[in-house]
Amino acid sequence: MATKNYSSRQPRYSTTGSRRSAASRRRARPMGRPAAKRRGPAPIIIIVAVIAVIVTCWVFGRGCGTSNQARQNDKLKTYTTDANQPLGQSAAIAKRFNALANSVKQQAKATVDSQLGQMETDCKSVSATSKKIVVPSKATDLQPLAQLAFDLRTQGVGEYHTGIMGVLNNTDPTGSTAVIAKGLEDLVVSDQVFLNYKNQFTARLKAAKENVQVTDPGLFVSSVDSASTAAVNAYVAAIAGPAPKTGTTAGATSPAQAMKDYLKTKGIDSSAMSFVVFSESPSDSSWKVDTATETGSQPTYFLVHGSNGTWTVIDSGASLNAAQLKKDGAPADLKAPTAG
């Protein structure tokens, strides 16, 4: 009996499909070295990143501009605080100046000299303080106006001081009057420059939306007319010497003639002046306050008294208050042109 040999190896199966797949794989395999894979972000990612960078720069750039504007406004606010100090100091000097100028006739010469000298010193100090202020870009065109006004005030007070002392000492009345007029003109200009400065400054703060106020620098001269030739002449005439109490103008047939005669003794031409009654005592019609006015000038007031058909100037000045009228002997019911 023949012996059968069995093999332990398992039969191998193959299919036609398998052969085709293998062949296909062999055919799909590229020849040579495989291509390298692309590295880095896709183009769309790069575009998105660029847009993000642009948007970020725009946002932050805008923020930087706003921040810079805020810093400039803060500097303007700080400048306002610094500028208000000399403005307030100058306003205080203006009050002192007005009080003295309106009472020179009643003051001792030494007092007038001392007070005006102190005002000069104070004006110089204020001007020096103003020059030290740090000026921001939003006020570079404003500060020169303020400095000009401060310097004019220093100059004007000095000129008025020189002129008024010349009048009080009776050393060249004509020249002294001209110096007073120059000083008052400088002070008038300073007042106008400060008005312009304050208006522009206030508008600048409003535009910056800063809720701060500009201090009022005050007025050294109450009106532009106060510096006119006629007004200065009348002012000087009123303080040049004591008012005529004993008939310097006696014999005048009317109050107007008495005033003309009085002005003539002071060397003042009254031909262009008009004379009108300001007030009359209800209890005694022989007492009046009349005014002499020249076009474009402040009026000069005269206290006149009539007796036996003639009129006499008792007192005169750019202002006359009730206390002065009483001192001059006028009835209490005579209306004064100024309060006080």
Alpha-carbon gap, residue 99 to 330, rounded angstroms: 24
Please count the structural domains in the chain: 2
| pLDDT higher than 60, residue 35 | no
Residues 274 and 141 in one domain: no
Same domain, 74 and 209: yes
Side chain identity at residue 292, one-letter code = A
Mean pLDDT lowest among 18-27, 192-201, 222-231, 276-285: 18-27
Measured distance CA(322)–CA(338) in Å, rounded: 8
Question: In whole angstroms, what is the distance from residue 326 CA to residue 316 CA?
Answer: 14
Condensed to tens digits (0 to 9), the pLDDT of residues 248-263 reads 445 688 888 988 888 8
Domain boundary among 227, 256, 289: 227
pLDDT above 70 for 280: yes
| Residue 267 CA: distances (Å) to CA of 109, 113, 174, 260 | 23, 25, 9, 11
Query: 277 in helix, strand or coil?
Result: strand
Residue 217 has pLDDT above 60, yes or no: yes
* Token output for 226: 């106060």
Among candidate residues 227, 256, 284, the one where a domain is terminated: 227
Q: Which two tokens stand for residue 276?
A: 């009108």
| DSSP string covering 254-319 | SHHHHHHHHHHHTT---TT-EEEEEEE-SS-TTEEEEEEE-TTS--EEEEEEEETTEEEEEEEES-
Same domain, 177 and 255: no
What's the average model confidence in pLDDT over 278-302?
A: 88
Q: Are residues 69 and 136 in the same domain?
A: yes
Name the pLDDT band for 243 (thresholds 50, 70, 90).
very low
> For the segment 297-328, what is each residue's pLDDT rounded down to a tens digit?
788 999 998 877 788 888 888 889 888 888 88
The predicted structure's pLDDT at residue 13: 47
pLDDT of residue 24 exceeding 90, the answer is: no
> Does pLDDT of 126 surpass 90?
yes
Structure tokens that stand for 234 in this block? 């009348």
Do residue 220 and residue 247 come from a single domain?
Answer: no
pLDDT above 70 as % of the chain: 78
Residue positions counted in the chain:
340
Both 266 and 172 in one domain: the answer is no
Beta strands in 102-218 (DSSP E): none
Residues 192 and 224: their CA atoms lie apart, in Å, by 9
Q: Which residue has the tokens 């003051």?
A: 107
159, 221: one domain:
yes
Q: Nearest-CA neighbor of 161 among 209, 116, 126?
A: 116
Picking from 162, 194, 227, the residue at the C-terminal end of a domain is 227
* Nearest Cα residue to 75 out of 134, 141, 147: 134
Average pLDDT score over the chain: 82
User: Does a structural domain hold residue 23?
Assistant: no
Could you tell me the residue range of the domain that residue 117 belongs to?
Answer: 58-227
Q: 249 and 127, same structural domain?
A: no
CA distance 54 to 41: 19
Distance CA 36, CA 94 (A): 91
In this prediction, residue 242 carries a pLDDT of: 45
> Stretch 87-101: mean pLDDT, rounded?
95
